Structure 1
Amino acid sequence: MTIKTFLIEHDEVDGGTHFTNGDTIQGRVIVEILKEAEIKSLTLIAKGYENFHLTDVFLTSYGSRRNSYPTVEFFYKVKQDLLKTGPQILGEGRHTFPFSFKIPDKEMTTSSNWAHHQLKAKLKQPRKRDKKVKTKFLFQQKEDTDEFQHMEPQHVCIEHNFKSCGSGTVTMNVYTEQMAYKADETLNIKVEINNQSTVSVRPKFTIYRKQKILLPRQRIIITSKVLQNLNKADIIAANSRVTVTKTIPLEKLPGPICGVAKNEYQLKVCLKPTRKFAEQRILVFRDNSELVPQTLAQLALMNNGMNRQPEYF
């Protein structure tokens, strides 16, 4: 056996035993070799994830659609190659490979007790089975979210090529002034549409409410449409370029219900072909940030008008 010791060590966080959002983890992978050996690669993977059973419910005016399945959510996954110059010949003795990575400074929605945060090292040698070693580290979510991050503007660009109901390409750029909003603020949206196709299209704006309930080893997400726009005048003709602006007063959103689950709103922007035979929706943009932080009662989810028709703006 060529490799005697293969392990991961990491330094403790300053002032406590738990790492948190934005902290930097520093450590080293130690490889002790009994005789000279070739190492093809040595990689370190840091990841945070949670395994849970997801129940996804979508409420409509006609009833509800339900889908339930086991899944895994990754909060972050960082991979580093510790052999900076490629394959190496390591001599007899103890070899140390330092590493450093920063935990993303973002909120990680989790039922905490069932989340996993770990470091994993993988060593490859020619004509030998890969060697792997893992170690866990303690993580604690920050109580205060980063408000500066929520104030940053968003921009998404999507392109679609028509094939079945026409020909040509349409491009959509969507801009919002920030990522998160309060209930008394106004959401301003700018959409730049370059329609170089044979099909006229119409932008459609919809806000969905996603209610997330975190239970041990289980997550329930209930989605319902709460605001939508049906402006028939916003038709983008074929072979034209148009900028559309939309103002959405967020006080129209349903108010909070006291309880234990997380409430967030998502903005969806799509272009819908105006021809009757062209039914598909295209160019979907979703703002997955939390528009209005709220809470609601777990036991009252299905009995508080969630399946009513959405309001129009």
Structure 2
Amino acid sequence: MLATIKNISVTYDGMGKTFSSGDFISGRITLELGKDCKIDYLSIKAKGKSEVRWTEHHKHSTITYHSKDKMFSIEQFIIREQKGQDCNVVAPGTHVYPFTFQIPQQAMPSSFKGAWGKILYTLEAKLSRPMRISSKARAEFPFVSKADLGSIPELMIPQHGTKDKKMKLFTSGKVGMDIHMERMGYYLGEDLKVVASIENSSSREIKPKYTLYQKDSFFARGKRRVSTKDILKELGEPIPPSGKLKVTKVLKIPQHIVPSILTCSNIKCEYRLKIVLDVPYARDPEIKLPLVILPATQTPGLQPPPYSDFGFDSFGNANQPGWNSTPQFPGAYPPMAPGAYPPMAPGAYPPMAPGAYPPTAPGANPPTAPGANPPMAPGAYPPMAPGAYPPMAPGAYPPMAPGALAPPPAYGTYPSLSDFGGKS
């Protein structure tokens, strides 16, 4: 027997790209019918939600911990039954229904899948028929939260930790370390610079170890579950006995990890940098410093925005990527020094179309035809007597009645062309 609904599917434009708050997402529902189909309604819903679930087994019972949180939900009806009318009838064949949503402009966590929870953003089509089970189709789309350093000033605070430990038993003496990081917040793919002052007053060689690890927390029914995993590990140079050294270690934050999740009610994703001094035959002293990993910039080829754009003064190493730089957008001209124009021969102004300067009121700067002259710094032309002609190439004054022009300005009245990028 020929099935009424042969297939229903949802696709969206830009498969593989990520979306953020305020973005538009467009797609289509494809409905393939084998015969006439009566429809109550056909709808498409965009939504974001988080869900946590785990099970604990006790002696005489099993408890399931479960929680949900909804970020947003928007529904559009493609086909809908009208009052006083029978069900809509759709003919056999393949039907395509386009749709467009705008993701709400609000703070939402990035897509995430962990040990006991997930954060998903989906498009879900639903076909409702009389006296039938509804048919559904779903497509997930990746969502990345927008970086907002301006709302969290703590991200710019330098991080510092110190640790001293006296050795016992098989190792004598003392070891200590003083760790500094320039700030707490970093972008995906950015370099993380760690400055460590290490003192080894022990009898053995020690090695610093650097570990960036992820800590995921899941919350349900007043309980919490935690899972951790190492993201990267690196080993520093050994410090000899009775040695003291200040070392700088640069770690590359991976691009593939999930940005920090701090705004979800039942899931948190946090990062820590752990520095351990590997001391033979002794308990290793360690320091843990918190990190907040922000999404990389959304525009290909752009560095993260300079921190001053978010209301912070620059500090630390001004040569870091994204510091003291101006974001460029497609079609943007590179910034120029104020008043810097292409070099021109001394006294040479670009030619103008005849009549480009119509008569103007005394003292007014005459309007020019579009593109007739390049922009000039305010005051580039000295004040002129009422009715005076605009400056022209030296000696190129048209025949005029005696006294029609004001006396030529004294030497030095016009600014040097070196002020405009030319040679004086």
Does TM, normalized by the shorter one, top 0.5?
no
- State TM-score, norm by structure 2: 0.32
Higher strand proportion (structure 1 or 2): 1
Whose Rg is larger? Answer: 2
- State TM-score, norm by structure 1: 0.42
Larger RCO of the pair (alpha carbons < 8 Å, separation 6+): 1
